[in-house]
Structure 1
């Protein structure tokens, strides 16, 4: 009788442990819905399905300074949520050892709807782009072997990798896939403009904003296309060459002469929050950006044809039109996105 009782206890403990393990390792899929006013998603998520544990792991990696050589500079160091995941106020990105880069840190939002990344398109896949800042000597100066060793010796990483991926492996591929899952979820789609487009409550644009939207469609939407506000192309928008950095843009990647001085058309989502602007952060206000297009365009090599109308450079804009455009651009601010605790570090 006593032996039977002991076996019952052992069996119940085994079932309890098995249930606990099953619960711990349960990885619930995330049902990602493309916003109705957005174009089709560009990222094939079938090769990296979104899951709760994959997202959780990606978020942990994104905010972990131990990926950098100084143990401090994480991805989130230069991509701050309240500023639409950019480095607000910094002309150039900052990195380890007080290093300063040569380009402005772009915001991270709606990445799964884009096909080219970085100002020069150095990455064309959301799962590859993270290695650029991690490996950069100026930015994070990370050593992938040291990063893998750190994760393999960290109990929380051991558990999350086991939960997030069927093969349970801690390796660079899974690390980048987890980061891609986190960035895919960084979808900004609940601004006043979005609600206007979807005929939702809170989406009423005033007369000035509507006038700005009409102007935008007339003068800006050919490059800042769709409700993602980029056509994913590379263009020369007539900036004078910055002698401090002599950045040749897309040419650095392709070495094709016609790509000199071309940079990726950025999304305008949350533009109110992401100053300074342009690849070199030269403009600190939206007024400065519009003044450039109205009267500051220079006829540099490979200037975009849209900015040269029979020798007249730029986009004609008067003071009222600039004010209306800025009013419209501010409707792209998504306060739900920048305050969502799901994306926050803690």
Structure 2
């Protein structure tokens, strides 16, 4: 329950503005040009309500500036982009746990930021179910950014450039919680990764020709992995116990820390596998440094428990049966999910 208690007071205040906007389908009177948000042909319906916060040019640029601004943290150095680096699909590549202010270390691996507008739950434990509220978690976490929203707003409201940007991005022009969070969402809503070799393959586009090994990997993935990593988002947005034993000294209960239910012990959000070849280390605690290690775990490392997902406990056997050839093919397929356009897209770059 500690995460639930920790964020309740913060979320209640911010939820006041959400109640007024979440179901509003009316036209939004923006001060500048709306950006076109194109849903890829092979993607499911977008979850985020664009009618309540349509991305605009100025809103997007404001969100981008905030994303890379260290003033969102207590020491003025740790920005969102510090732990979410574009070259690794906006993860903290090579770091098992996220590093924050004063070089403090967290207890979970920084997740990728991509296709956020299609998701319904955020963070490894689903501490929030709305994208607009997601930034509150790292900003207020004492070992990540260690700041308060009120103090962040105090700092940026003293900046003449921010005053100009807020005025150009929102009708009321105010530097407040609602506009601050909406600007960050506008930036993340545009961060769509959907141009990998796999995407070109399923859309029958040039550059999407699969090798025999990649086709074998796709078939194996569909039969052995797609139960949890569904659709072309490669996640079903649920929370599952995948048989990973608690990390020594942490005993992270995952979803149960938010829900308070014993039945949620050791369940974590099923991550998207897009750009997975770039996002090592893997799992919520970053314990595996390679895709090979992940597949070895699913082959012979899954541990039984009361909340273990039933898909990993069939016919009296634990895990997923994969021989060496299967693993080679699966890795070849997973590498087709790398979207080089996304990780090089200047729209999302800091400089």
The match for 2:165 is 160
Shift of the alpha carbon at 1:178?
0.5
Instruction: Measure how far apart 1:243 and its partner are.
Output: 2.3
Per the alignment, residue 246 of structure 1 pairs with 251
What is the CA-CA distance between 1:197 and the residue it aligns to? 1.0
Asked whether the equivalents of residues 136 and 149 of structure 2 are also in contact (C-alpha less than 8 Å), the reply is no
Q: Which residue of 2 aligns with 1:187?
A: 192
Q: 2:202 aligns with which of 197, 200, 209?
A: 197
Judge conservation of contact 1:261–1:301 (CA < 8 Å) in 2: no
**Quick check: 1:119–1:249 contact (8 Å CA) kept in 2?**
yes
* Separation of aligned partners in 2, 1:310 and 1:319: 22
1:292 to 288, 297, 306: 297
Equivalent position to 1:228, from 213, 229, 233: 233
* Mapping for residues 28-39 of structure 1, pairs under 5 Å: 28-39=33-44
Report if aligned partners of 2:125, 2:254 keep a CA contact under 8 Å in 1: yes
Cα separation, 2, equivalents of 1:267 and 1:156:
36
CA distance in 2, matches of 1:300, 1:243: 17
Corresponding residue of 1:106: 111
Post-superposition offset of 1:115: 0.3
Larger radius of gyration: 1
Corresponding residue for 1:318?
A: 323
Structure 1 segment 14-53 matched on structure 2, within 5 A? 27-53=32-58
Deviation at 1:146, TM superposition (A): 2.1
2:132 match: secondary structure: coil
On the 8 A contact 2:31/2:170 being kept in 1, the answer is no
> Secondary structure, in 3 states, of the residue corresponding to 2:133?
coil
Are 1:89 and 2:91 an aligned pair? no
Q: Residue 270 of structure 1 aligns with which residue?
A: 275
CA deviation profile, 1:68-114 (whole Å, cap 9, x unmatched): 11100000000000000000000000000111000000000000011
Question: 1 CA distance for matches of 2:81 and 2:264?
Answer: 31
Q: Does 1:327 align with 2:332?
A: yes
Q: CA deviation at 1:147?
A: 1.4
Contact 1:161 1:168 in 2 (8 A): yes
Stretch of structure 1 that moved more, 336-345 or 146-155:
146-155
CA displacement, residues 182-221 of structure 1 (integer Å, 9 cap, x when unaligned): 0111110110001111111111111100100010000000
Give the unaligned 5+ runs of structure 2: 1-29
One of 303, 307, 313 as aligned partner of 2:308: 303
2:122 and 2:130 in contact (8 A); partners too: yes
Matched, 1:169 2:174: yes
Equivalents in 2 of 1:153, 1:242: separation in Å? Answer: 43
Residue 138 (structure 2) pairs with residue 133 (structure 1): yes
The CA distance in 2 between the partners of 1:94 and 1:332, in whole Å, is: 27
Q: Residues 240 and 300 of structure 1 are in contact (CA less than 8 Å); yes or no, is this contact kept in structure 2?
A: no
| Aligned-pair CA distance for 1:168 | 0.7
Displacement after TM superposition at 1:153 (Å): 1.3
- Cα distance in structure 2, aligned partners of 1:313 and 1:133: 35
Structure 1 residue 26: deviation in Å? Answer: 5.2
In the TM superposition, residue 49 of structure 1 has moved relative to its aligned partner by 0.8
**CA distance in structure 1 between the partners assigned to 2:31 and 2:139 by the alignment:** 30
Task: Give TM-score scaled by structure 2 length.
Answer: 0.91
Q: What is the distance in 2 between the residues matched to 1:300 and 1:287?
A: 24
CA drift at 1:172: 1.1
Segments of 5+ residues of structure 1 without an aligned counterpart are 1-24
Aligned residue number for residue 69 of structure 2: 64
CA distance in 1, matches of 2:92, 2:306: 29
Describe the SS at the equivalent of 2:63: helix
